[in-house]
Protein backbone atom coordinates (compact mmCIF):
# COMPACT_ATOMS: atom_id res chain seq x y z
CA UNK A 1 0.00 0.00 0.00
CA UNK A 2 1.57 3.24 -1.17
CA UNK A 3 1.57 6.38 0.96
CA UNK A 4 0.39 9.57 -0.69
CA UNK A 5 3.17 12.09 -1.06
CA UNK A 6 2.24 15.58 0.03
CA UNK A 7 2.76 18.18 -2.71
CA UNK A 8 5.70 20.55 -2.15
CA UNK A 9 5.00 23.90 -0.57
CA UNK A 10 5.71 26.65 -3.08
CA UNK A 11 6.82 30.17 -2.20
CA UNK A 12 6.67 33.19 -4.50
CA UNK A 13 9.06 36.12 -4.65
CA UNK A 14 6.97 38.78 -2.94
CA UNK A 15 8.58 41.67 -4.84
CA UNK A 16 7.06 40.56 -8.17
CA UNK A 17 4.18 38.34 -7.00
CA UNK A 18 1.21 40.60 -7.74
CA UNK A 19 -2.36 39.41 -8.22
CA UNK A 20 -5.65 41.21 -8.90
CA UNK A 21 -9.24 40.15 -9.50
CA UNK A 22 -10.03 39.18 -13.07
CA UNK A 23 -12.01 41.92 -14.79
CA UNK A 24 -10.98 44.60 -12.29
CA UNK A 25 -9.47 47.30 -14.49
CA UNK A 26 -8.40 49.48 -11.57
CA UNK A 27 -6.83 46.45 -9.92
CA UNK A 28 -4.99 45.70 -13.17
CA UNK A 29 -3.60 49.24 -13.26
CA UNK A 30 -2.62 49.16 -9.60
CA UNK A 31 -0.91 45.79 -10.06
CA UNK A 32 1.42 47.47 -12.55
CA UNK A 33 1.82 50.45 -10.23
CA UNK A 34 2.83 48.02 -7.49
CA UNK A 35 5.76 46.93 -9.67
CA UNK A 36 7.23 50.44 -9.93
CA UNK A 37 10.01 49.63 -7.39
CA UNK A 38 11.12 46.81 -9.71
CA UNK A 39 11.17 49.15 -12.72
CA UNK A 40 13.16 51.76 -10.79
CA UNK A 41 15.70 49.21 -9.61
CA UNK A 42 16.32 47.29 -12.82
CA UNK A 43 15.52 50.07 -15.27
CA UNK A 44 16.57 53.31 -13.63
CA UNK A 45 19.52 52.35 -11.47
CA UNK A 46 20.89 49.68 -13.80
CA UNK A 47 20.89 52.19 -16.68
CA UNK A 48 22.45 54.82 -14.44
CA UNK A 49 25.30 52.52 -13.44
CA UNK A 50 25.98 51.51 -17.04
CA UNK A 51 25.91 54.96 -18.62
CA UNK A 52 26.72 57.50 -15.90
CA UNK A 53 28.73 55.86 -13.07
CA UNK A 54 27.82 58.66 -10.63
CA UNK A 55 28.81 58.10 -7.00
CA UNK A 56 25.63 59.85 -5.86
CA UNK A 57 23.65 57.28 -7.82
CA UNK A 58 25.60 54.39 -6.34
CA UNK A 59 24.97 55.62 -2.80
CA UNK A 60 21.32 56.31 -3.60
CA UNK A 61 20.92 52.67 -4.61
CA UNK A 62 22.95 51.49 -1.62
CA UNK A 63 20.62 53.43 0.66
CA UNK A 64 17.61 51.69 -0.86
CA UNK A 65 19.26 48.31 -0.32
CA UNK A 66 19.98 49.16 3.31
CA UNK A 67 16.39 50.33 3.70
CA UNK A 68 15.03 47.05 2.34
CA UNK A 69 17.35 45.06 4.60
CA UNK A 70 16.08 47.01 7.60
CA UNK A 71 12.52 46.42 6.42
CA UNK A 72 13.01 42.64 6.45
CA UNK A 73 14.68 42.89 9.86
CA UNK A 74 11.78 44.86 11.34
CA UNK A 75 9.25 42.46 9.80
CA UNK A 76 11.04 39.51 11.39
CA UNK A 77 11.06 41.21 14.78
CA UNK A 78 7.46 42.51 14.76
CA UNK A 79 5.94 39.52 12.89
CA UNK A 80 2.64 41.25 12.18
CA UNK A 81 0.40 39.20 9.91
CA UNK A 82 -0.92 40.42 6.60
CA UNK A 83 -4.69 40.98 6.15
CA UNK A 84 -7.06 38.01 5.75
CA UNK A 85 -6.83 38.30 1.96
CA UNK A 86 -3.30 36.87 2.19
CA UNK A 87 -4.74 33.35 1.89
CA UNK A 88 -6.21 34.14 -1.51
CA UNK A 89 -2.95 35.80 -2.55
CA UNK A 90 -0.87 32.93 -1.11
CA UNK A 91 1.45 35.21 0.88
CA UNK A 92 0.44 34.41 4.46
CA UNK A 93 3.90 32.97 5.10
CA UNK A 94 5.42 36.49 5.04
CA UNK A 95 4.88 39.38 7.44
CA UNK A 96 3.23 42.67 6.58
CA UNK A 97 4.51 45.41 8.91
CA UNK A 98 5.95 47.62 7.53
CA UNK A 99 5.16 47.48 3.80
CA UNK A 100 8.41 47.14 1.85
CA UNK A 101 6.88 48.64 -1.31
CA UNK A 102 5.73 51.77 0.53
CA UNK A 103 9.05 52.04 2.31
CA UNK A 104 10.95 51.76 -0.99
CA UNK A 105 8.87 54.37 -2.80
CA UNK A 106 8.90 56.94 0.00
CA UNK A 107 12.65 56.52 0.52
CA UNK A 108 13.04 57.09 -3.23
CA UNK A 109 10.68 60.08 -3.27
CA UNK A 110 12.33 61.84 -0.32
CA UNK A 111 15.89 61.23 -1.54
CA UNK A 112 15.05 62.23 -5.13
CA UNK A 113 13.30 65.38 -3.91
CA UNK A 114 16.37 66.40 -1.89
CA UNK A 115 18.68 65.68 -4.83
CA UNK A 116 16.51 67.92 -7.00
CA UNK A 117 16.18 70.71 -4.43
CA UNK A 118 19.94 70.90 -3.91
CA UNK A 119 20.57 70.58 -7.66
CA UNK A 120 22.90 67.59 -7.39
CA UNK A 121 23.97 65.85 -10.59
CA UNK A 122 21.92 66.48 -13.73
CA UNK A 123 18.93 67.71 -11.73
CA UNK A 124 17.68 71.28 -11.55
CA UNK A 125 15.48 72.96 -8.95
CA UNK A 126 12.94 73.73 -11.69
CA UNK A 127 12.39 69.97 -11.95
CA UNK A 128 10.73 70.02 -8.55
CA UNK A 129 7.49 70.45 -10.48
CA UNK A 130 8.12 67.06 -12.11
CA UNK A 131 8.89 65.55 -8.71
CA UNK A 132 5.64 66.89 -7.25
CA UNK A 133 3.53 65.84 -10.25
CA UNK A 134 5.15 62.45 -10.97
CA UNK A 135 7.33 61.00 -8.22
CA UNK A 136 5.14 61.73 -5.21
CA UNK A 137 1.84 60.66 -6.86
CA UNK A 138 3.51 57.37 -7.84
CA UNK A 139 4.65 56.89 -4.24
CA UNK A 140 1.12 57.40 -2.91
CA UNK A 141 -0.38 55.24 -5.68
CA UNK A 142 2.01 52.43 -4.81
CA UNK A 143 1.01 52.72 -1.16
CA UNK A 144 -2.68 52.67 -2.09
CA UNK A 145 -2.21 49.72 -4.47
CA UNK A 146 -0.87 47.49 -1.70
CA UNK A 147 -4.03 48.05 0.35
CA UNK A 148 -6.43 47.84 -2.60
CA UNK A 149 -4.92 44.57 -3.83
CA UNK A 150 -5.10 43.07 -0.35
CA UNK A 151 -1.40 42.72 0.40
CA UNK A 152 -1.32 45.10 3.36
CA UNK A 153 -3.47 46.97 5.82
CA UNK A 154 -3.54 50.77 5.89
CA UNK A 155 -1.45 50.76 9.06
CA UNK A 156 1.23 48.64 7.38
CA UNK A 157 1.60 50.89 4.34
CA UNK A 158 1.66 54.08 6.42
CA UNK A 159 4.32 52.52 8.63
CA UNK A 160 6.38 51.71 5.52
CA UNK A 161 5.92 55.24 4.18
CA UNK A 162 7.00 56.80 7.48
CA UNK A 163 10.05 54.57 7.85
CA UNK A 164 11.03 55.07 4.21
CA UNK A 165 10.74 58.86 4.50
CA UNK A 166 12.84 58.88 7.65
CA UNK A 167 15.54 56.63 6.19
CA UNK A 168 15.58 58.52 2.88
CA UNK A 169 16.13 61.87 4.58
CA UNK A 170 18.62 60.40 7.03
CA UNK A 171 20.66 58.64 4.35
CA UNK A 172 20.77 61.79 2.21
CA UNK A 173 22.16 63.68 5.21
CA UNK A 174 24.79 60.98 5.87
CA UNK A 175 25.89 60.87 2.22
CA UNK A 176 26.17 64.62 1.72
CA UNK A 177 27.39 65.52 5.21
CA UNK A 178 30.03 62.80 5.71
CA UNK A 179 30.56 60.56 2.66
CA UNK A 180 30.65 63.21 -0.05
CA UNK A 181 34.03 64.47 1.20
CA UNK A 182 35.55 61.12 0.22
CA UNK A 183 34.31 61.25 -3.40
CA UNK A 184 37.57 62.74 -4.82
CA UNK A 185 39.60 59.96 -3.19
CA UNK A 186 37.23 57.33 -4.62
CA UNK A 187 37.52 58.90 -8.07
CA UNK A 188 41.34 58.72 -7.90
CA UNK A 189 41.42 55.17 -6.51
CA UNK A 190 42.32 52.15 -8.64
CA UNK A 191 38.71 50.97 -8.82
CA UNK A 192 37.44 54.49 -9.40
CA UNK A 193 39.72 55.04 -12.38
CA UNK A 194 39.09 51.54 -13.75
CA UNK A 195 35.28 51.84 -13.65
CA UNK A 196 35.25 55.60 -14.45
CA UNK A 197 33.42 56.44 -11.22
CA UNK A 198 32.79 60.15 -10.87
CA UNK A 199 31.11 62.86 -8.85
CA UNK A 200 29.58 65.83 -10.65
CA UNK A 201 27.77 67.35 -7.67
CA UNK A 202 30.24 70.27 -7.64
CA UNK A 203 29.31 71.27 -11.20
CA UNK A 204 26.40 73.78 -11.33
CA UNK A 205 25.01 72.63 -14.70
CA UNK A 206 26.12 69.10 -15.58
CA UNK A 207 24.16 68.87 -18.83
CA UNK A 208 25.74 72.08 -20.15
CA UNK A 209 29.18 70.96 -18.95
CA UNK A 210 28.91 67.60 -20.75
CA UNK A 211 27.44 69.21 -23.86
CA UNK A 212 30.23 71.77 -24.20
CA UNK A 213 32.96 69.22 -23.48
CA UNK A 214 31.53 66.78 -26.02
CA UNK A 215 31.56 69.53 -28.67
CA UNK A 216 35.09 70.68 -27.83
CA UNK A 217 36.40 67.09 -27.77
CA UNK A 218 35.26 66.69 -31.38
CA UNK A 219 37.99 69.17 -32.38
CA UNK A 220 40.82 67.17 -30.78
CA UNK A 221 42.31 64.28 -32.72
CA UNK A 222 43.19 62.35 -29.54
CA UNK A 223 39.50 62.05 -28.61
CA UNK A 224 38.29 60.79 -31.98
CA UNK A 225 37.19 57.20 -32.45
CA UNK A 226 39.59 55.05 -34.44
CA UNK A 227 36.82 53.21 -36.29
Q: Binning pLDDT at 50, 70 and 90, where does residue 108 land?
A: very high
**87 burial type by CB count under 10 A (0-12 exposed, 13-18 middle, 19+ buried):** exposed
Model pLDDT, residue 14: 56
Residue 49 has pLDDT above 60, yes or no: yes
Q: Binning pLDDT at 50, 70 and 90, where does residue 219 land?
A: confident
Model pLDDT, residue 8: 64
pTM: 0.85
Model pLDDT, residue 153: 92
Look at residue 198 and give its three-state secondary structure: strand
Overall average pLDDT of the 147-172 stretch: 94
Amino acid sequence: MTTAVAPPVLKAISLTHVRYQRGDQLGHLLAWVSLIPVFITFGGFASHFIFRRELQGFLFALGLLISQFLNETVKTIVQQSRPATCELLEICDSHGWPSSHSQYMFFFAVYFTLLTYYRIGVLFRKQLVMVVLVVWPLAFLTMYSRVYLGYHTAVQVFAGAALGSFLGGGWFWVVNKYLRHHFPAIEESVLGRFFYLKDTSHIPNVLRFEYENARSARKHVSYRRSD
